[in-house]
Amino acid sequence: MKHLISLFDITAEEIESIFTISAKLKKELKEGKTHHILQGKTLGMIFSKSSTRTRVSFEVGMYQLGGHSLFLNSNDIQLGRGETIYDTAQVLSRYINGIMIRTFKHSDVEDLARFGTIPVINGLTDLMHPCQILADLFTILEVKGRLKGLKMAYVGDGNNVANSLLHGCAKVGMDICIATPEGYGCDEGIIEEARSDAKKTGCKLVLTEDPVEAATGADVIYTDTWVSMGQEAEKEIRTKTFMPYQVNKKLFSHAGNNAMFLHCLPAYRGMEVSEDIIDGPDSAVFEEAENRLHVQKAIMAMLMQKL
């Protein structure tokens, strides 16, 4: 594993290793054990979009591993004034040991990895959010003790989170049913990639417009905002279109016994999820958010320790 850009590019064994290291680092953090795994190493964090969890968990994670992080708002560096990805990648590779980037165009992240000589971590693009889904799957593993054979239901917008969820579930062999309104489905290329992995792992991959079909018998119900970063102008039409896809008590009643609720956050109560679900006993959203820290520490250790 050289980079973490798409979950399709990594193996199920690598995901297993990430989870083993995450569990160890989580336990050791709670026990007060300190680490120097990334001592002397610097992570550059380029942000072209807002963030709470990604920014704070990567920065704190780097600190906890003995390393250092640099917050680079893309508007403050020359990238925002037209310096090329090629030059940025070449220059940063000479100063720092890894790059985490959150941006719009997925191909910019791929280019950064192609043109530089250091590991690149995708902290969200318009197309994918792989670190989030690794933390989600780790959370499910902690609660349920397994992933294979469980059913994931994603209800809402076929966005970056849904795309990476398709990749991730297919990779680890978890059944997945995604319910989206017509015209708001997942990326076609990602569906194809996920189908090829699902064939190998033997899991079911279903795409539907019916939220009840997705929720029925599910072990996990997952949703995300209807208005992703960059789509603010479409808020009104999206809110109207997605209302029948709200995860609420009625929809949740179709899920299996002990089903859990996940949301990558930030959440909009009364929109994609009702308050009684996200703040109710089946919700694991804050454990999920915490796990971003542990899982990303494992990813950074695996990618940057080798340098």
User: Using CB under 6 A as the criterion, which residues of the chain lie in contact with ligand NVA when the complex forms?
Assistant: 124, 159-161, 224-225, 228-229, 264
Catalytic annotation on 292? yes
Partner residues linked to 222 by β-bridges: 154, 262
Min. distance of Cβ 172 from ligand NVA in angstroms?
A: 21
How far is the C-alpha of 242 from the C-alpha of 236, rounded, in Å?
10
Catalytic annotation on 102? yes
What length does the chain have?
307
Residues 15 and 172: beta-carbon distance below 8 Å: yes
Binding flag, residue 223, ligand CP (CB under 6 A):
no
Question: H or E stretch including 43?
Answer: strand 42-47
Give 3-state DSSP helix, strand, coil % of the chain, rounded to 5.
50, 15, 35
Binding flag, residue 231, ligand CP (CB under 6 A):
no
Residues that bind ligand CP (rule: CB under 6 A) add up to a total of 9
Q: Using CA of residue 175, residue 282, residue 265, residue 297, what is the dihedral sign? A: negative
- Choose one: 51-59, 111-119, 245-253, 278-286; the region binding ligand CP (CB under 6 A): 51-59
Catalytic annotation on 224? yes
Closer by beta carbon to ligand CP, 115 or else 268: 268
Instruction: Looking at residues 121 to 140 of the shown chain, list those that interact with ligand CP (rule: CB under 6 A).
Output: 124, 132
Neighbours of 269 (CB within 10 A): 12
Min. distance of Cβ 256 from ligand NVA in angstroms?
A: 26
Min. distance of Cβ 228 from ligand NVA in angstroms?
A: 3
Closer by beta carbon to ligand NVA, 178 or else 301: 178
Partner residues linked to 157 by β-bridges: none
Closer by beta carbon to ligand NVA, 13 or else 236: 236
Look at residue 52 and give the partner it binds from ligand CP, ligand NVA, none, a contact being a CB closer than 5 to 8 Å depending on partner kind: ligand CP
Question: H or E stretch including 29?
Answer: helix 12-31
Closer by beta carbon to ligand CP, 54 or else 97: 54
How far is the C-alpha of 16 from the C-alpha of 24, rounded, in Å?
13
Catalytic residue (choose from 3, 53, 106, 129) = 129
Catalytic residue (choose from 102, 106, 167, 263) = 102
Catalytic annotation on 254? no
Rounded to the nearest 10°, the torsion over CA 148, 21, 124, 280 is 60
Give which of 107, 93, 84, 108 is closest to 304, Cα–Cα: 93
Closer by beta carbon to ligand NVA, 260 or else 264: 264
How far is the C-alpha of 116 from the C-alpha of 224, rounded, in Å?
32
Catalytic residue (choose from 177, 186, 203, 264) = 264
Catalytic residue (choose from 64, 132, 246, 296) = 132
Please list the active-site residues. 102, 129, 132, 224, 264, 292
Binding site for ligand CP (CB under 6 A): 51-54, 124, 132, 264-266
